[in-house]
Amino acid sequence: MNNGRARLAAGILEADFGNLYRVVRKLERAGADRLHLDVMDGHFVPSLTFGADVVRALRRLTRLPLDVHLLVDRPSTLVEGLIAAGSDSITMHVEAPEPAERILEALRAVRRAGLGPGLAVNPATPVAALAPFREALDIALVLMVDPATPGQRFRRELAGKVADARELFAGRPHGWEVHVEGGIGRENAEVVGGFGADILVVGSALFERGHDVAREIRLVKALADEGWTREIGRGEPPIPRESWSVVATLPHPDADELSRTIERAGIPTLVLRTGPFVPGVDAERVVMVPASAEIFARKRFGLGFAEEDEAL
Protein backbone atom coordinates (compact mmCIF):
# COMPACT_ATOMS: atom_id res chain seq x y z
CA MET A 1 0.00 0.00 0.00
CA ASN A 2 1.19 3.52 -0.78
CA ASN A 3 1.50 5.74 2.28
CA GLY A 4 2.05 9.04 0.49
CA ARG A 5 -0.05 11.32 -1.66
CA ALA A 6 1.57 11.50 -5.10
CA ARG A 7 0.76 8.77 -7.58
CA LEU A 8 2.63 7.64 -10.69
CA ALA A 9 1.10 6.71 -14.03
CA ALA A 10 3.53 4.76 -16.19
CA GLY A 11 3.49 5.94 -19.80
CA ILE A 12 4.19 2.87 -21.91
CA LEU A 13 5.01 4.35 -25.34
CA GLU A 14 8.71 3.69 -24.72
CA ALA A 15 8.06 0.11 -23.58
CA ASP A 16 8.63 -3.10 -25.52
CA PHE A 17 5.28 -3.70 -27.21
CA GLY A 18 6.48 -7.11 -28.32
CA ASN A 19 6.30 -8.28 -24.72
CA LEU A 20 3.55 -6.28 -23.01
CA TYR A 21 2.87 -9.01 -20.47
CA ARG A 22 6.43 -8.75 -19.13
CA VAL A 23 6.32 -4.93 -19.18
CA VAL A 24 3.06 -4.79 -17.24
CA ARG A 25 4.19 -7.30 -14.63
CA LYS A 26 7.42 -5.37 -14.11
CA LEU A 27 5.54 -2.09 -13.63
CA GLU A 28 3.09 -3.72 -11.22
CA ARG A 29 5.90 -5.13 -9.09
CA ALA A 30 7.77 -1.83 -9.20
CA GLY A 31 4.86 0.12 -7.69
CA ALA A 32 3.27 1.95 -10.63
CA ASP A 33 -0.20 3.10 -9.62
CA ARG A 34 -1.74 3.07 -13.11
CA LEU A 35 -0.88 2.79 -16.78
CA HIS A 36 -1.03 5.87 -19.00
CA LEU A 37 -1.96 5.09 -22.61
CA ASP A 38 -1.37 7.76 -25.27
CA VAL A 39 -3.74 7.15 -28.19
CA MET A 40 -2.56 9.14 -31.24
CA ASP A 41 -4.22 9.35 -34.66
CA GLY A 42 -1.45 10.77 -36.87
CA HIS A 43 -3.46 13.99 -37.39
CA PHE A 44 -3.75 15.83 -34.08
CA VAL A 45 -0.11 14.86 -33.61
CA PRO A 46 2.20 13.34 -36.24
CA SER A 47 2.55 9.98 -34.49
CA LEU A 48 0.18 7.05 -34.85
CA THR A 49 0.01 4.65 -31.92
CA PHE A 50 -2.84 2.30 -31.00
CA GLY A 51 -6.53 2.17 -30.22
CA ALA A 52 -9.17 0.24 -28.31
CA ASP A 53 -7.75 -3.18 -29.21
CA VAL A 54 -4.53 -2.56 -27.29
CA VAL A 55 -6.49 -1.09 -24.37
CA ARG A 56 -8.61 -4.25 -24.33
CA ALA A 57 -5.50 -6.43 -24.39
CA LEU A 58 -3.98 -4.52 -21.48
CA ARG A 59 -7.22 -4.79 -19.54
CA ARG A 60 -6.87 -8.58 -19.71
CA LEU A 61 -3.30 -8.33 -18.41
CA THR A 62 -3.70 -6.12 -15.33
CA ARG A 63 -5.95 -4.75 -12.65
CA LEU A 64 -4.07 -1.46 -12.63
CA PRO A 65 -6.25 1.49 -13.70
CA LEU A 66 -5.92 2.31 -17.40
CA ASP A 67 -5.59 6.06 -17.91
CA VAL A 68 -6.29 6.78 -21.60
CA HIS A 69 -5.07 10.07 -23.13
CA LEU A 70 -6.57 10.88 -26.53
CA LEU A 71 -4.31 12.95 -28.79
CA VAL A 72 -6.74 12.78 -31.70
CA ASP A 73 -8.80 15.10 -33.88
CA ARG A 74 -12.18 13.52 -33.11
CA PRO A 75 -12.11 12.11 -29.58
CA SER A 76 -15.89 11.79 -29.38
CA THR A 77 -15.83 9.04 -32.01
CA LEU A 78 -13.51 6.85 -29.90
CA VAL A 79 -15.10 7.18 -26.48
CA GLU A 80 -17.66 4.39 -26.80
CA GLY A 81 -15.07 1.85 -27.95
CA LEU A 82 -12.60 2.83 -25.24
CA ILE A 83 -15.25 2.53 -22.55
CA ALA A 84 -16.09 -0.98 -23.78
CA ALA A 85 -12.39 -1.88 -23.92
CA GLY A 86 -11.96 -1.37 -20.17
CA SER A 87 -10.58 2.13 -19.70
CA ASP A 88 -10.77 3.62 -16.21
CA SER A 89 -10.38 7.25 -17.29
CA ILE A 90 -10.44 8.99 -20.65
CA THR A 91 -8.82 12.38 -21.16
CA MET A 92 -9.33 14.37 -24.36
CA HIS A 93 -7.70 17.57 -25.60
CA VAL A 94 -9.47 20.89 -25.33
CA GLU A 95 -7.64 21.87 -28.53
CA ALA A 96 -9.24 19.03 -30.54
CA PRO A 97 -11.03 20.44 -33.62
CA GLU A 98 -14.48 19.26 -32.56
CA PRO A 99 -17.40 21.45 -31.48
CA ALA A 100 -17.40 22.18 -27.76
CA GLU A 101 -20.87 20.63 -27.46
CA ARG A 102 -19.58 17.33 -28.83
CA ILE A 103 -16.59 17.34 -26.46
CA LEU A 104 -18.93 18.05 -23.54
CA GLU A 105 -21.25 15.20 -24.47
CA ALA A 106 -18.27 12.85 -24.78
CA LEU A 107 -17.13 13.83 -21.28
CA ARG A 108 -20.62 13.21 -19.95
CA ALA A 109 -20.70 9.79 -21.62
CA VAL A 110 -17.47 8.87 -19.82
CA ARG A 111 -18.96 9.90 -16.49
CA ARG A 112 -22.23 8.04 -17.15
CA ALA A 113 -20.12 4.92 -17.64
CA GLY A 114 -18.68 5.40 -14.14
CA LEU A 115 -15.23 6.39 -15.42
CA GLY A 116 -13.10 9.51 -14.97
CA PRO A 117 -13.60 12.19 -17.65
CA GLY A 118 -10.70 14.54 -18.31
CA LEU A 119 -9.41 17.33 -20.52
CA ALA A 120 -5.80 18.15 -21.35
CA VAL A 121 -4.12 21.44 -22.25
CA ASN A 122 -1.06 21.83 -24.44
CA PRO A 123 1.77 24.16 -23.31
CA ALA A 124 0.44 27.10 -25.34
CA THR A 125 -3.13 26.75 -24.00
CA PRO A 126 -4.11 28.43 -20.72
CA VAL A 127 -5.86 26.30 -18.12
CA ALA A 128 -8.73 28.82 -18.30
CA ALA A 129 -9.73 27.08 -21.56
CA LEU A 130 -11.06 24.22 -19.40
CA ALA A 131 -13.43 26.44 -17.41
CA PRO A 132 -16.49 25.94 -19.67
CA PHE A 133 -16.19 22.17 -19.10
CA ARG A 134 -15.50 22.36 -15.35
CA GLU A 135 -18.65 20.58 -14.14
CA ALA A 136 -18.03 17.63 -16.48
CA LEU A 137 -14.41 17.09 -15.43
CA ASP A 138 -12.72 14.84 -12.90
CA ILE A 139 -9.24 15.21 -14.44
CA ALA A 140 -7.22 18.16 -15.71
CA LEU A 141 -4.03 17.11 -17.53
CA VAL A 142 -1.28 19.70 -17.95
CA LEU A 143 1.33 19.00 -20.64
CA MET A 144 4.85 20.27 -20.01
CA VAL A 145 5.98 19.69 -23.61
CA ASP A 146 4.38 20.08 -27.03
CA PRO A 147 3.12 16.61 -28.00
CA ALA A 148 3.61 17.39 -31.69
CA THR A 149 7.39 17.79 -31.29
CA PRO A 150 9.37 14.77 -30.03
CA GLY A 151 12.57 15.03 -28.04
CA GLN A 152 11.63 18.04 -25.90
CA ARG A 153 12.60 18.56 -22.29
CA PHE A 154 10.44 19.52 -19.32
CA ARG A 155 9.67 23.25 -19.34
CA ARG A 156 9.92 24.47 -15.77
CA GLU A 157 8.23 27.79 -16.57
CA LEU A 158 4.99 25.91 -17.27
CA ALA A 159 4.81 24.21 -13.85
CA GLY A 160 2.64 26.99 -12.42
CA LYS A 161 -0.18 25.78 -14.66
CA VAL A 162 -0.57 22.85 -12.26
CA ALA A 163 -1.67 25.32 -9.56
CA ASP A 164 -4.05 26.92 -12.07
CA ALA A 165 -5.57 23.52 -12.73
CA ARG A 166 -6.09 22.92 -9.00
CA GLU A 167 -7.86 26.26 -8.77
CA LEU A 168 -10.24 25.03 -11.46
CA PHE A 169 -11.65 22.59 -8.89
CA ALA A 170 -11.80 25.06 -6.00
CA GLY A 171 -14.76 24.36 -3.73
CA ARG A 172 -15.02 20.72 -4.80
CA PRO A 173 -13.82 18.62 -1.87
CA HIS A 174 -13.27 15.27 -3.52
CA GLY A 175 -13.24 13.30 -6.75
CA TRP A 176 -10.83 15.25 -8.97
CA GLU A 177 -7.17 15.07 -9.94
CA VAL A 178 -4.54 17.18 -11.65
CA HIS A 179 -2.22 15.17 -13.90
CA VAL A 180 1.08 16.36 -15.35
CA GLU A 181 2.89 14.85 -18.33
CA GLY A 182 5.93 15.63 -20.45
CA GLY A 183 9.53 15.02 -19.44
CA ILE A 184 8.56 14.10 -15.88
CA GLY A 185 11.14 12.29 -13.75
CA ARG A 186 13.18 12.54 -10.59
CA GLU A 187 14.72 15.83 -11.77
CA ASN A 188 11.43 17.75 -11.65
CA ALA A 189 9.03 15.69 -9.52
CA GLU A 190 9.60 18.00 -6.55
CA VAL A 191 8.73 21.04 -8.67
CA VAL A 192 5.36 19.74 -9.93
CA GLY A 193 4.61 18.24 -6.52
CA GLY A 194 5.12 21.66 -5.00
CA PHE A 195 2.42 23.04 -7.29
CA GLY A 196 0.07 20.24 -6.26
CA ALA A 197 0.19 17.60 -9.00
CA ASP A 198 -1.77 14.50 -8.02
CA ILE A 199 -0.69 12.12 -10.79
CA LEU A 200 2.75 12.26 -12.40
CA VAL A 201 2.91 10.62 -15.81
CA VAL A 202 6.39 9.17 -16.24
CA GLY A 203 7.44 7.53 -19.48
CA SER A 204 10.98 7.30 -20.83
CA ALA A 205 12.60 7.70 -17.38
CA LEU A 206 11.19 4.28 -16.43
CA PHE A 207 12.61 2.49 -19.45
CA GLU A 208 16.14 3.86 -19.66
CA ARG A 209 18.71 1.12 -19.78
CA GLY A 210 20.27 0.52 -16.38
CA HIS A 211 17.49 2.23 -14.42
CA ASP A 212 15.99 0.39 -11.48
CA VAL A 213 12.29 0.93 -12.24
CA ALA A 214 11.11 0.36 -8.68
CA ARG A 215 13.65 2.81 -7.29
CA GLU A 216 12.72 5.37 -9.94
CA ILE A 217 9.04 5.13 -9.04
CA ARG A 218 9.77 5.46 -5.30
CA LEU A 219 11.99 8.47 -5.92
CA VAL A 220 9.48 10.29 -8.12
CA LYS A 221 6.62 9.85 -5.66
CA ALA A 222 8.73 10.71 -2.61
CA LEU A 223 10.14 13.84 -4.25
CA ALA A 224 6.68 14.97 -5.34
CA ASP A 225 5.48 14.60 -1.74
CA GLU A 226 8.51 16.58 -0.54
CA GLY A 227 7.55 19.37 -2.89
CA TRP A 228 3.99 19.34 -1.54
CA THR A 229 5.28 19.43 2.05
CA ARG A 230 7.55 22.39 1.38
CA GLU A 231 5.14 24.52 -0.68
CA ILE A 232 1.49 23.64 -0.07
CA GLY A 233 1.87 21.98 3.32
CA ARG A 234 4.20 24.68 4.71
CA GLY A 235 6.17 21.96 6.45
CA GLU A 236 3.29 19.55 7.06
CA PRO A 237 3.34 16.35 4.98
CA PRO A 238 0.37 15.58 2.73
CA ILE A 239 -2.47 13.39 3.91
CA PRO A 240 -1.97 9.85 2.55
CA ARG A 241 -4.55 9.01 -0.10
CA GLU A 242 -5.78 5.83 1.57
CA SER A 243 -6.44 7.50 4.94
CA TRP A 244 -10.01 7.73 6.23
CA SER A 245 -11.26 9.76 9.20
CA VAL A 246 -14.20 9.26 11.55
CA VAL A 247 -16.48 12.31 11.51
CA ALA A 248 -19.38 10.98 13.62
CA THR A 249 -20.52 8.13 15.85
CA LEU A 250 -24.29 7.72 15.74
CA PRO A 251 -27.16 5.27 16.09
CA HIS A 252 -27.51 3.11 13.00
CA PRO A 253 -30.39 4.98 11.26
CA ASP A 254 -28.81 8.39 11.92
CA ALA A 255 -25.45 7.20 10.61
CA ASP A 256 -27.04 5.95 7.40
CA GLU A 257 -28.85 9.25 6.91
CA LEU A 258 -25.68 11.28 7.50
CA SER A 259 -23.82 9.05 5.07
CA ARG A 260 -26.39 9.70 2.35
CA THR A 261 -26.27 13.44 3.01
CA ILE A 262 -22.48 13.59 2.78
CA GLU A 263 -22.41 11.51 -0.40
CA ARG A 264 -24.86 13.89 -2.07
CA ALA A 265 -22.09 16.50 -1.69
CA GLY A 266 -19.73 14.28 -3.69
CA ILE A 267 -17.78 12.79 -0.79
CA PRO A 268 -17.63 8.99 -0.43
CA THR A 269 -18.35 7.52 3.00
CA LEU A 270 -17.94 4.33 4.98
CA VAL A 271 -20.37 3.30 7.72
CA LEU A 272 -18.93 0.73 10.12
CA ARG A 273 -20.21 -0.99 13.26
CA THR A 274 -18.50 0.21 16.44
CA GLY A 275 -18.23 -3.22 18.02
CA PRO A 276 -18.68 -6.95 17.47
CA PHE A 277 -22.01 -8.32 16.34
CA VAL A 278 -24.33 -9.14 19.23
CA PRO A 279 -27.71 -10.72 18.43
CA GLY A 280 -30.57 -8.34 19.21
CA VAL A 281 -28.26 -5.32 19.68
CA ASP A 282 -28.04 -2.66 16.96
CA ALA A 283 -24.67 -1.13 17.79
CA GLU A 284 -23.77 2.45 16.95
CA ARG A 285 -22.01 3.16 13.68
CA VAL A 286 -19.05 5.34 12.82
CA VAL A 287 -19.28 7.46 9.68
CA MET A 288 -15.95 7.87 7.87
CA VAL A 289 -14.81 10.08 4.98
CA PRO A 290 -11.47 10.31 3.13
CA ALA A 291 -9.08 12.19 5.42
CA SER A 292 -8.44 14.77 2.72
CA ALA A 293 -12.14 15.74 2.83
CA GLU A 294 -12.56 15.65 6.62
CA ILE A 295 -12.30 19.39 7.31
CA PHE A 296 -14.73 20.21 4.49
CA ALA A 297 -17.24 17.61 5.73
CA ARG A 298 -17.06 18.77 9.35
CA LYS A 299 -17.60 22.41 8.40
CA ARG A 300 -20.27 21.74 5.78
CA PHE A 301 -22.37 19.45 7.97
CA GLY A 302 -21.68 20.96 11.39
CA LEU A 303 -19.92 17.88 12.76
CA GLY A 304 -17.50 19.76 15.03
CA PHE A 305 -13.81 19.21 15.60
CA ALA A 306 -11.64 17.52 18.16
CA GLU A 307 -10.47 19.86 20.95
CA GLU A 308 -6.93 19.94 19.60
CA ASP A 309 -8.24 21.01 16.18
CA GLU A 310 -10.39 23.78 17.67
CA ALA A 311 -7.25 25.25 19.22
CA LEU A 312 -5.56 25.64 15.83
pLDDT band (50, 70, 90) for residue 143: very high
Q: What is the DSSP string of 62-120?
A: --S-EEEEEESS-GGGTHHHHHHHT-SEEEEETTSSS-HHHHHHHHHHHHHTTSEEEEE
Spell out the domain ranges in the chain. 7-231, 244-310
pTM: 0.91
Asked if 185 and 205 touch (Cβ cutoff 8 Å), the reply is yes
Q: How confident is the model at residue 231 (pLDDT cuts 50, 70, 90)?
A: very high
149-193 tens-digit pLDDT? 767 889 999 999 999 999 999 989 999 999 999 999 999 999 999
**What is 7-231's CATH number?**
3.20.20.70
**pLDDT tens figures, 237-251:** 999 988 999 999 999
Q: What is the distance between the alpha carbons of residues 219 and 24, in angstroms, rounded to a whole number? A: 20
CATH number corresponding to 244-310? 3.30.70
